Amino acid sequence: MNRLLNCINNKKSSDTPVWFMRQAGRYLPEFMEIRKQNTDFVKLCLNSDLAKEITIQPIKRFDLDAAIIFSDILMIPYGLGQNVNFKKGFGPQLDEVQIDISTKINNETFTNNLKPVYEAIKKVRIEIEKKNLIGFAGAPWTLFLYMINRRSPKKNFNFEEIIKNNTLTRDLYKKLEEIICLHIKNQVDAGANIIQIFDSWAGLLPENQLKDYCYEPTKRIVEFVKKLNIPAICFPRGIGKNYEDFCSSVKPDCISIDYEVDPNWIKQKIKTPVIQGGLDPKVLLKNREDIEIEVKKYLDIFRDQPYIFNLGHGVLPETKPETIKFVTSLVREYK
């Protein structure tokens, strides 16, 4: 039985499916073991055998409803010819975008640049057989922002500065939309059967720019995914009350909510897309009694509707693997 697809497609509300954003990652000692020997993160993403192994690590440990391919949203800038580096303690560092190169890369070259990512998906698919495999991409806004800002916008964000070159903004946005669709299609062809679109920095957009920079391009990408007969999950992190407008404009099959969204509020406001996630990843650092209360809070609120259990952002590196096991069985056993 495929709980996750049943939940998204047939809107069944019993048997809550569960997976975790960043379920493959730094909280797992077996990931750290591989990471220690592979200091170049991009190269690690391009090693199809290791990427396959890392993708499967959480599936071996926990009873999860999906694997998510081990890769990164910044593999798209890399595929467009922009050099990407992950510096310890700093995060991603990107070379200056060479707009003439990036907007002129053809589909074949892009696909070729990211071939190991698709190879990894094929290898995971063989190993996990019929289990769900989530492919993903960054949304145009979040990718555009990293490409222009060249580092995390956490500390130094200025919207006007980011979009100041009109021609570059228009050309790169258009290219990103096309290449995100290509990257999604390639992942689906390789064996991904669900797609999640991460707009991790949607919350930095001024409200009056959300339509142009977030909803409209994302909507066209979601339409593309739907035409492939694949469900699309969207994660427009940090847009607060605008989740409502996002859902009515973009119409994803599923909306992944961040931990700042009041679950009771969204339950009232959003009727069509299936809701996923919400729990603050910091809760998983607390003691078991507190974790149980918080997990059950989400399960109770969404009890009578289809709901996918997940977090409101990625698993933190400080999380104990046993906690993921504990939460997964709580979701499985809670009736």
Query: Given candidates 27, 162, 314, 319, which one binds ligand 1CP under the rule CB under 6 A?
Result: 314
Shortest CB 30 distance to ligand 1CP, Å: 13
User: Judged by CB, which is closer to ligand 1CP: 153, or 167?
Assistant: 153
Query: Given candidates 26, 251, 267, 296, which one binds ligand 1CP under the rule CB under 6 A?
Result: 26
Residue 233's closest CA among 213, 251, 220, 248?
A: 251
Shortest CB 168 distance to ligand 1CP, Å: 21
Shortest CB 198 distance to ligand 1CP, Å: 4
Site size toward ligand 1CP (CB under 6 A) is: 23
DSSP H helical segments within 156-270, as ranges? 159-162, 166-190, 210, 216-227, 243-250, 263-269
Q: Is residue 312 within the footprint of ligand 1CP (CB under 6 A)?
A: no
User: Judged by CB, which is closer to ligand 1CP: 217, or 314?
Assistant: 314
CA 35/CA 305 separation, integer angstroms: 39
Shortest CB 152 distance to ligand 1CP, Å: 3
Shortest CB 303 distance to ligand 1CP, Å: 27
Q: Is residue 77 within the footprint of ligand 1CP (CB under 6 A)?
A: no
Q: Which residues of 155-194 are buried (b: 16+ CB within 10 A; e: fewer)?
A: eeeeeeebbeeeebeebbbebbbbbbbbbbbbbbebbbbb
Q: Is residue 61 within the footprint of ligand 1CP (CB under 6 A)?
A: no
Query: Given candidates 9, 39, 83, 91, which one binds ligand 1CP under the rule CB under 6 A?
Result: 91
Shortest CB 253 distance to ligand 1CP, Å: 18
Strand pairing class (91-94; 84-87): antiparallel
Site for ligand 1CP in 28-57 (CB under 6 A): 35, 41
Q: Which residue is nearest to ligand 1CP, using beta carbons? A: 152
- Residue written as tokens 């960043």? 22
Residue 244's closest CA among 266, 217, 275?
A: 266
Residue 266's closest CA among 250, 277, 281?
A: 277
CA 130/CA 4 separation, integer angstroms: 12
Contact in structure between 136 and 22 (CB atoms under 8 Å)? no
Query: Given candidates 154, 164, 227, 320, which one binds ligand 1CP under the rule CB under 6 A?
Result: 154
User: Judged by CB, which is closer to ligand 1CP: 124, or 304?
Assistant: 124
Interface segment toward ligand 1CP; rule CB under 6 A; list 70-78, 125-133, 242-250, 289-297: 70-78
Three-class DSSP category at 84: strand
Q: Half-sphere exposure of residue 104, counting CA atoms within 13 Å on the CB side?
A: 4
**Per-residue contact flags (x/-) with ligand 1CP for residues 199 to 238, judged by CB under 6 A:** -x--------------------------------------
Q: Using CA of residue 170, residue 82, residue 141, residue 69, what is the dihedral sign? A: positive
Shortest CB 317 distance to ligand 1CP, Å: 8
User: Judged by CB, which is closer to ligand 1CP: 24, or 97?
Assistant: 24
Q: How many other CB atoms are found less than 10 A from the CB of residue 220?
A: 15
- Residue written as tokens 């946005």? 173
Burial of residue 89 (CB within 10 Å: 0-12, 13-18, 19+) is: exposed
Q: How many helices (H) and strands (E) does the chain have?
A: 17, 9
Q: Is residue 136 within the footprint of ligand 1CP (CB under 6 A)?
A: yes
Give CA separation, 16 vs 19, 27, 173, in Å: 10, 24, 37
Shortest CB 289 distance to ligand 1CP, Å: 27
Residue numbers at the binding site for ligand 1CP (CB under 6 A): 21-26, 35, 41, 68, 70-74, 86, 91-92, 136, 152, 154, 198, 200, 314
